[in-house]
A and B are shown apart, each in its own frame.
Chain A
């Protein structure tokens, strides 16, 4: 661990076992599909076999006649008998298609039946009449004026005003600073390349699952494995026109998300089926549903031109970045234009972003959304310039590194950040200082940046009669945040980790919380926890003051101990709690924050050694080191886990993962057999170096750590493969097939 300087913490920085741990190693933890309600029906979704078609007619009569089938719902059940299906707004139309299907896997109807087998048999009996339309699957093709149009009403948002006619380009956004032409005129070395990446999936192991019960009093209860119970409640309310006051979302344990479980899919459908049948309805996706019917991350086509002076200063960068949004508008390209140069100080930059709809699933966030593909392009060009200038690639990055005060991704200056420290840690690492020898081998490095977000968090803390505290939080715990929040509360109150009991509660039981995403929970909910802790200390001061014949202002709290002005009376937090609650009256406080959009930014740097088999084109990862600025590592083991997990997801993305489409717009590899996420045999141990440059925006200096770690791997591996083979890789995945094509011409 590399630490600049931080206070002495008692709990933060230790590695306790998480509160939900025992349930998870014994099989007792309840995930989305583990919810079993009395008398529940099973629901299944019928999905479009076509990538693009008008939906002419749905006839469910044969399905409804099947023994055991209780209800069939379609978008008609959303808009009502007199509603206009063609005007079904975007979030609802992705849940159940209105008049058009926009991708293979688009939901068109759903069945509730006495069991899952009957529900699946019933799907085959629903007759759907489609008018098949030409589909467009490639981002650049979708931008052409003669491309098939997905949304007749869509007009491009551009700096010059909206487009005249319909277009698949959702928005053209520009991120520009300085004078790009003057910048390139100063450059001695200019490199320029075009890169492309394929759509990939988050690959969480737990398929989406939800249970809904629409009670006869119109109270709707939903159990779901979501990344955001409050946003899920909001979405369901919006789609069904049902007030949030009548919806309770109970988050279950969640089996991975990485951004893919932010949106709702099954929740509103299960609610409709429950309303139609009067019974709880449980729904789950199979793996093909997950690939075809949820939200992968965009494929891209990115062109970048980058220039530097011969003394090694980056001066100008220009780029044109086209990102697939899938079937409905998104904003990945806009983010890409902001993050692409964030790790460096480049005076003159201009990046045009194009967000484009194509006939593929509506994309969703996937860990640092948009940044890995941008880094795949940018970090390779950085390496090429460093090579041309004969400067060590790490030293070159250090020479041009972003730093406190330099221009950040939206133009505002960075506060204290840790990119230089990450690159320095790489330079000093055992890995970088061990020569790589042998034929067909290469070493690559790359940096990565992600914004991290703040947003809204609320927690409740109640003091128990024995002096322990219960922490109720509203963010689902996807990787150990119950522990990281309990640790911050314990630190604030000067008590032990074991004296805090952290629980994730439903939407009726705590103030509003935004998504478990954006690397924000340990950061922003941590701030809420700190706030609640301070409120609790203030409340206890109020209670102690009269018994100590003083005023609350005179009661001090330091290192877990209350004392009066002259120090003649002292009480630990726990003693104070027992005295005032155990022998007094209950005490509950809350902490609520809106931590804003930007959360200080996080940087990572990775080093990888590869060997490429010249006969088969297969790349083996020999050694891997992940370095990341965690600000303050609350639970270092969980920080390492985020770094390692991000690195291995990146390895999969770099080498083998892709949505492989056939000519009809069907994903041909929608299983874990053919969508190749890494297995334990495909990766080595992932070495980690945690850098700690405290975040000035957080009381304990915490930075979000979930996302930056997936940004560097694609580029780091490409840089390593380029050194191993002498051939630059501009397309993902760098599969054996691609390597044979590019190195041997076997195509």
Chain B
């Protein structure tokens, strides 16, 4: 057993103070210490994207970040993508396009797609496929996911206030 370290970070806009062991990843920190199980463990070695979160504006695999590294960080997880009860256009689009089957990869895809559209609202199919290549889905064959992101981008361009 080693000591635990005090970490203070803003998660989904709320200040959170917590203790972690240095060996705990950000993914474990979120899931086991903070009770936020939206980010999923699919591989625990940076190869599937199911644990994607945004740290200081950058998309990361939460399994490849230590919790202790996040002192002072601004973190967005799947739990913070919707605005209260109002779904983000990506969330609505995933539902309307049937872009999920089992749904385990969905939080990672939505967070990754949000990170893309926040930076590149005009991303086309090729760009979306490239950006999402670090997120594995085994159910859908990606077709409906890519269409959902294209549709959401379209919606967000039409009604930017909603995003």
The residues of A with any CB-CB pair to B shorter than 8 Å are 15, 17-18, 20-22, 24-31, 33-34, 36, 67-68, 115-117, 202-207, 253-258, 284, 286-287, 478-480, 635, 637-638, 640-642, 644-649, 671-673, 677-681, 683, 685-686
- Cα–Cα distance between A22 and B107 once the two chains are bound (Å): 11
- Cα–Cα distance between A678 and B140 once the two chains are bound (Å): 11
Interface residue range, chain B: 35 or more
Which 8 pairs show the lowest CB-CB distances between chains A and B?
Answer: A27-B38, A255-B104, A648-B141, A24-B103, A27-B78, A644-B141, A637-B98, A479-B101
Chain B facing A: main interface SS: loop
B13 CB → nearest A CB, Å: 15
- Cα–Cα distance between A253 and B1 once the two chains are bound (Å): 33
Picked from B23, B32, B110, B140, the residue with its CB within 8 Å of the CB of A644 is B140
Check A644–B106 contact: CB distance below 8 A: no
Check A671–B43 contact: CB distance below 8 A: yes
Check B103–A15 contact: CB distance below 8 A: no
- Cα–Cα distance between A487 and B91 once the two chains are bound (Å): 23
Q: Is B153 an interface residue (CB 8 A)?
A: no
Q: Is B8 an interface residue (CB 8 A)?
A: no
Q: Is B129 an interface residue (CB 8 A)?
A: yes
Q: Is B142 an interface residue (CB 8 A)?
A: yes
- Cα–Cα distance between A681 and B128 once the two chains are bound (Å): 9
Check B142–A205 contact: CB distance below 8 A: no
Closest to A639 in B: B98
Q: Mark B62-100, 1 if CB is under 8 A from A, else 0.
A: 000000000000000111011000010001001111101
Check B100–A21 contact: CB distance below 8 A: yes
Q: Is B132 an interface residue (CB 8 A)?
A: yes
B1, B32, B48, B139: most-surrounded residue (chain A CB, <10 A): B139
Contacts of B97-126 to chain A: CB distance below 8 A:
97-98, 100-107, 110
Q: Mark B19-54, 1 if CB is under 8 A from A, else 0.
A: 001010000100110011111111111011010000
Check B141–A673 contact: CB distance below 8 A: no
Picked from A67, A115, A641, A677, the residue with its CB within 8 Å of the CB of B101 is A641
A24, A27, A117, A681: most-surrounded residue (chain B CB, <10 A): A27
**A-B pairs with CB below 8 Å: how many?**
182
Tell me whether A26 and B129 are in contact in the complex, defined as CB-CB below 8 angstroms, given that A253-B103, A287-B45, A679-B136 are known contacts.
no
Which residues of chain A are near B47, meaning CB under 8 Å?
Answer: 287, 671-673
- Cα–Cα distance between A284 and B40 once the two chains are bound (Å): 12
- Cα–Cα distance between A672 and B136 once the two chains are bound (Å): 9
- Cα–Cα distance between A284 and B32 once the two chains are bound (Å): 14
B147 CB → nearest A CB, Å: 8
Which residues of chain B are near A28, meaning CB under 8 Å?
Answer: 38, 79
Q: Is B10 an interface residue (CB 8 A)?
A: no
Which residues of chain A are near B147, meaning CB under 8 Å?
Answer: 685
Which residues of chain B are near A34, meaning CB under 8 Å?
Answer: 31, 37
Closest to B126 in A: A681
Tell me whether A645 and B101 are in contact in the complex, defined as CB-CB below 8 angstroms, given that A25-B94, A258-B138, A680-B142 are known contacts.
yes
Beyond contacts A21-B95, A648-B140: 17 other A-B pairs, Cβ-Cβ < 8 A, are: A22-B87, A26-B91, A27-B38, A205-B40, A205-B42, A255-B104, A287-B47, A479-B139, A638-B98, A640-B98, A672-B45, A672-B136, A677-B136, A678-B142, A679-B136, A680-B128, A683-B142
Q: Is B145 an interface residue (CB 8 A)?
A: yes
Check A25–B104 contact: CB distance below 8 A: no
Q: Is B158 an interface residue (CB 8 A)?
A: no
A300 CB → nearest B CB, Å: 22
B36, B96, B106, B133: most-surrounded residue (chain A CB, <10 A): B106
Which residues of chain A are near B36, meaning CB under 8 Å?
Answer: 27
B77 CB → nearest A CB, Å: 7
- Cα–Cα distance between A25 and B105 once the two chains are bound (Å): 10
Check B42–A287 contact: CB distance below 8 A: yes
Tell me whether A25 and B87 are in contact in the complex, defined as CB-CB below 8 angstroms, given that A205-B104, A287-B42 are known contacts.
yes
Closest to A206 in B: B104
5 contacts between A and B (CB under 8 A): A25-B91, A641-B139, A644-B143, A645-B138, A680-B142
Tell me whether A36 and B100 are in contact in the complex, defined as CB-CB below 8 angstroms, given that A255-B40, A644-B143, A645-B141 are known contacts.
no
Which residues of chain A are near B106, meaning CB under 8 Å?
Answer: 24-25
Check B140–A641 contact: CB distance below 8 A: yes
A668 CB → nearest B CB, Å: 16
Tell me whether A207 and B38 are in contact in the complex, defined as CB-CB below 8 angstroms, given that A27-B77, A649-B138 are known contacts.
no
Closest to A20 in B: B103
- Cα–Cα distance between A115 and B20 once the two chains are bound (Å): 13
B57 CB → nearest A CB, Å: 20
- Cα–Cα distance between A686 and B38 once the two chains are bound (Å): 29
Q: Is B137 an interface residue (CB 8 A)?
A: yes
Picked from A15, A644, A672, the residue with its CB within 8 Å of the CB of B48 is A672
Check B144–A672 contact: CB distance below 8 A: no
Check A17–B40 contact: CB distance below 8 A: no
B76 CB → nearest A CB, Å: 12
Closest to A117 in B: B23
Check B110–A681 contact: CB distance below 8 A: no
Check B100–A24 contact: CB distance below 8 A: yes
Which residues of chain A are near B50, meaning CB under 8 Å?
Answer: 205
B99 CB → nearest A CB, Å: 9
Closest to A637 in B: B98
